[in-house]
Structure 1
C-alpha cells in the first residue's frame, strides 16, 4: 500500500512538471528568442495602415547583376591559398590581393566592397563563379535593392539606374525607371563572396557571417543615370529622395574632377528640392578619406536622414572627430558604443548644416540590433514599429523567407544594455514580450530593437539596403 502511494506521488509530480514545461514552451517563456519574435511581430502589426495615396520615393543610383557565390569553395576552385598575413587593399589587381583582403575582413567577419582595376582578371573571376553550381544570379546594386523593398512596402518608386531589359525584369512592377531599359545596355557585374559564422580558411576563422564584394564597374562608376534621374525627379514630385550607391566612386580610377562634378550635381539636386521632400542618404563601404570628406561636407549638410551599418558609422565618426578612417570596425559593437557614436555624429553633422535642412534621423543596423534616433516632433513617426520592422526584415531577407522560422534564428543582443559608455549611465533591460526599447533624450527619441539573427543564411549581400528601406518606409 505504501509503495503504491509513493508511486502515485511521483507520478503526480512528474505530470505537473510536464504540464509546466508544456505551458512555458507554448508561451515562449523557455526560449527568449521566440518571445522576442512574438513581441517584434506584435510591434510590426501596430504600424498604421498606409494612406490611400501611395508615398512616392525617388532613389538613385546605379544597378548591376550580382553573382552570389561561397567564398571558400571559390578560392579552392581558383587555387587561391590563404595568405600568411592578411593585408588591406584599396584596389585589387591580383589573386594575391584578393587572398590578402579576403583574409583581412574574413577574420573580423566584416563586410567590405572593393574595386578591381584589372578588368581581365575580374572577368576571369566572374567566369569561374558562373560555372559553379552553388552560384546564384540576382539584380543588384544599392538603389535597385532599396527600390524593390520600398515597392514591397507599398511605395511608388522612381529608380535612377541604367540597366538592360533583362535586368529590368527583376524589378517590382510599380517601379519606374528614370532611364529606359535597353537590350544593348551592358550591366555592371558585382561578385559577392559569402561565408558563414565559424567557417575556416587555413588559420583564419570567421566570427560571423558576412561578405566581400568585388567589382570592376564603369556605368555605376561614371553615374551614367544621374542626368536622367535629375530630370525625372522634377515631374515625379517624390515625398522622399534617397541617395545611395556612391561607394562605386571610392578610389576613383579616372580624372578626380569627373567625380567632384558628379557630387556637385547631386548636391545641387538636393538643394533644389522643396523642404516638404524628405532626403535620406544611405552610406556604404568607403575608405578613401578624401572622398568621404567630400560626401560629409557637400552632401550630408543637405539631408534629413542617414542610414548605415557599424563599419560605416565608425568611419563617419572617425572622420568628423579628426581621426583616421577605419578599414575594419568591431563587427558587433556594444549598444552603448553605437549610441555614443550616433550622438557624436549627429552633433557634428548638425554643425555643418546651414539651416536649409536639419538632420533629424539616424538609423544604424548591426548584426545584433537596430538603433533609430529621431528628432522629437519631426516628420519621422513610429520609431518603435520601424525598428521592429527593420529587425524582422533582417531575418527575412538573410534567411530568404517571409515567414520567420524559430528554429533558424538566435539572439545576439544581451538581456540588458547601457545607453552610454559614460559613468553612471542608465542600463535598460530588454523586455522579451515587448522587446523594442524606446526613450527620450533632450530633443531626440531613441529606439533599440534586438535582431533575430538568421542561422541558415541564404544571402547577406543587400541585407543592409533592405533593412534600411523597410525601416524608413515605415516612418513615411
Structure 2
C-alpha cells in the first residue's frame, strides 16, 4: 500500500512540475491522477486530454441564427511550403546569429530574420524588397524536394475553411491567379474582376520543434513567411471587394491583408489606409465586419490601424505577437515587455484585451465604436473577449477554435488524444493587477469564464499537436471556426 500511494504522490508531483513548476494541482485535476492509473503517467495524461476533447464535443453546438452568406477579402496567393533550414542550406547560406529586419533586402537579411524567429519558435511575416532575388529564391523553393503548394493568404484560407460548411455561400475577393483559382473550393464564388493572369507566391519556411541549425534550436514548431507581393501589398482588390458586396448581400464580412501594406513604405500605407477606411465605411452598418490581423513591425502603422480601422469593425482576430505589439504601439498594458516568456500570462493577456475594448471598442456605453469582440489565440490556449449584450454562443465559438487548432495541426479529422498534449496553465488569474481573481482549469468543463466590467472572457486550453504536419493557416482556421459558431444578437444595431 505504501509503495502504491508513493507512486501516486510522485506522479501528482511530476505532473504539477510539468505544468509551470507548480506541484499543487487544482482540485478538479486530482480526479484524473488516481492510484489506479499511477503506474503509467502517459496513460494518465492521455486520459486528461481525452476528457477535454470529449467535453469540447459536447459544448460545440451551432448558434440559433447562423451566417448564410460570408464575403471574405482581400489577400490571396499560392503558398510554397518548404523546410526552412533545408532551403537556406540549398541557397548556400551558413547558420549564424539572428537579427530581425522589418523589410528583407537580401538573402543575408532572410537568413538573419529566419534564425531570429526560429530560436524563439515564433511566427513572423516579412516583405522581400528585391523582386529578382525573390524570384530566384522562389524558383529554388518550388524545386526543393518535398516542397508543397497550397492555397495561401488569410482571406483565401478563411474562405476555404468557411466553404467546408455546405450551408454557407462564400465570396472571395483578392488577386486570384490561375493556379490559386484551380485550388479553391468549388463552393467559393470569385468575382471576374478578381481574376488575374499570374499568381502571387508566398514562401513558407517551416521548422519542427527541436530542429537545429548551427547553434539555433527551435523550442516549438512554427514558420517564417516572406514574399514580394505587390498586388496584396497595395490591397489592390479592396475597392472591388466592397463594390461586390451590394450584389452579393453578405450577412458577415471578413477582412484581412492590412499587414501586407506595411512593406510598401510609409507614404503608400498612409495614403492607402485612408482609402481603405473610406471603403470599409461604405459597408452597411448592419453588416458585422471581422478584421484578421497578422504580423507587423511598424509601430506607427499598427497605431494607425488601431485608431482608424478597429473602431469601424465589429470583431478582430489576433495571436500573442500581434496582441503585445498592438499594446506596445498604443502604450497599453504591459507595453514594457520586449516579448512573452514562454506561454503568455493569462492575466496580462486579459489586461490587454480589456484595454482594446475600452480604448477602441464599445465597452464604454458612450462610445460610437463598433468593436465588441476580440478572438485571441496562442499555442497553449485561446481567449474570446466580448462586450456584454452583443454576441451569443461564445462557449461553442472558443472551443470550436481550439478544437480545429488541435485537429488541423495533426492532420486528423477529429482530435486524437494520443497525438496531443496539454500545455495551458492549470492555475491563472483574471488580471495581472488588482482586482486579481484566481482561476483554474476544469478538464470536464474546459471553458473558464470571468467578467471585468461589461466585458466577458471565455478561455479554453488547446491540446497542442506533438508532431504538427503543417502550421500555416492555423490562425485563419481558428478565426473562421470561431466565427461560424458565433451569433450576433439581432437587437443590437451596428
Shorter-chain TM-score tier: 0.7 to 0.9
1:275 maps to 2:281: no
The alignment partner of 1:152 has SS state of coil
1:195 maps to 2:213: no
Cα distance change on mapping 1:328 and 1:422 into 2, 3 Å: closer
Alignment partner for residue 38 of structure 1, among 37, 48, 54?
A: 54
- In the alignment, which residue of structure 1 is the partner of 2:370? 358
Aligned residue runs from structure 1 range 107-256, under 5 A: 107-153=119-165, 154-180=167-193, 182=195, 185-253=197-265, 256=266
User: Contact 2:314–2:371 at 8 Å: present in 1 too?
Assistant: yes
User: Contact 1:108–1:331 at 8 Å: present in 2 too?
Assistant: no
For each residue in 1:422-448, what CA deviation from the matched residue of structure 2 results, as whole angstroms up to 9, or x when unmatched?
A: 256222121111111123332122100
CA deviation after TM superposition for structure 1 residue 373, in Å: 0.7
| TM-score, length-scaled by structure 1 | 0.88
Cα distance change on mapping 1:385 and 1:361 into 2, 3 Å: same
User: Contact 2:120–2:219 at 8 Å: present in 1 too?
Assistant: yes
CA deviation after TM superposition for structure 1 residue 262, in Å: 3.0
Q: Which piece of structure 1 moves more, 159-168 or 364-373?
A: 159-168
For each residue in 1:183-218, what CA deviation from the matched residue of structure 2 results, as whole angstroms up to 9, or x when unmatched?
A: x62111100011122111111111111110010012
1:440 maps to 2:454: no
Unaligned runs of 5+ in 1: 1-17
Aligned-partner Cα distance in 1 for 2:44–2:398: 22
Aligned-partner Cα distance in 2 for 1:259–1:178: 25
CA deviation after TM superposition for structure 1 residue 326, in Å: 8.2
For each residue in 1:375-402, what CA deviation from the matched residue of structure 2 results, as whole angstroms up to 9, or x when unmatched?
A: 1111x21111111100011112222221
Aligned-partner Cα distance in 2 for 1:326–1:262: 31
Aligned-partner Cα distance in 2 for 1:229–1:260: 20
Q: Which piece of structure 1 moves more, 203-212 or 324-333?
A: 324-333
Aligned-partner Cα distance in 2 for 1:326–1:77: 36
Aligned-partner Cα distance in 2 for 1:118–1:150: 35
Alignment partner for residue 61 of structure 1, among 65, 74, 86?
A: 74
Alignment partner for residue 86 of structure 2, among 53, 62, 73?
A: 73
Query: What RMSD, in angstroms, separates the aligned Cα atoms of the two structures?
Result: 2.8
CA deviation after TM superposition for structure 1 residue 142, in Å: 0.5
Aligned-partner Cα distance in 2 for 1:219–1:274: 26
- In the alignment, which residue of structure 1 is the partner of 2:408? 397
Alignment partner for residue 429 of structure 1, among 436, 440, 453?
A: 440
Alignment partner for residue 296 of structure 1, among 306, 314, 325?
A: 306
| TM-score, length-scaled by structure 2 | 0.85
Aligned-partner Cα distance in 2 for 1:30–1:122: 45
For each residue in 1:246-294, what CA deviation from the matched residue of structure 2 results, as whole angstroms up to 9, or x when unmatched?
A: 11111315xx554334323321233233332111111111111232222
1:461 maps to 2:461: no
CA deviation after TM superposition for structure 1 residue 296, in Å: 1.6
Cα distance change on mapping 1:458 and 1:49 into 2, 3 Å: farther
The alignment partner of 2:444 has SS state of coil
User: Contact 1:110–1:210 at 8 Å: present in 2 too?
Assistant: yes
Aligned-partner Cα distance in 1 for 2:385–2:362: 17
User: Contact 1:110–1:329 at 8 Å: present in 2 too?
Assistant: no
User: Contact 1:319–1:325 at 8 Å: present in 2 too?
Assistant: no
1:307 maps to 2:317: yes
CA deviation after TM superposition for structure 1 residue 342, in Å: 0.8
1:407 maps to 2:407: no
Unaligned runs of 5+ in 2: 1-33, 488-494
Aligned-partner Cα distance in 2 for 1:297–1:357: 11
For each residue in 1:141-171, what CA deviation from the matched residue of structure 2 results, as whole angstroms up to 9, or x when unmatched?
A: 0100011112223422111112123311222
User: Contact 1:91–1:117 at 8 Å: present in 2 too?
Assistant: yes
Aligned-partner Cα distance in 1 for 2:44–2:309: 46
Cα distance change on mapping 1:102 and 1:248 into 2, 3 Å: same
- In the alignment, which residue of structure 1 is the partner of 2:12? none
Cα distance change on mapping 1:330 and 1:206 into 2, 3 Å: same
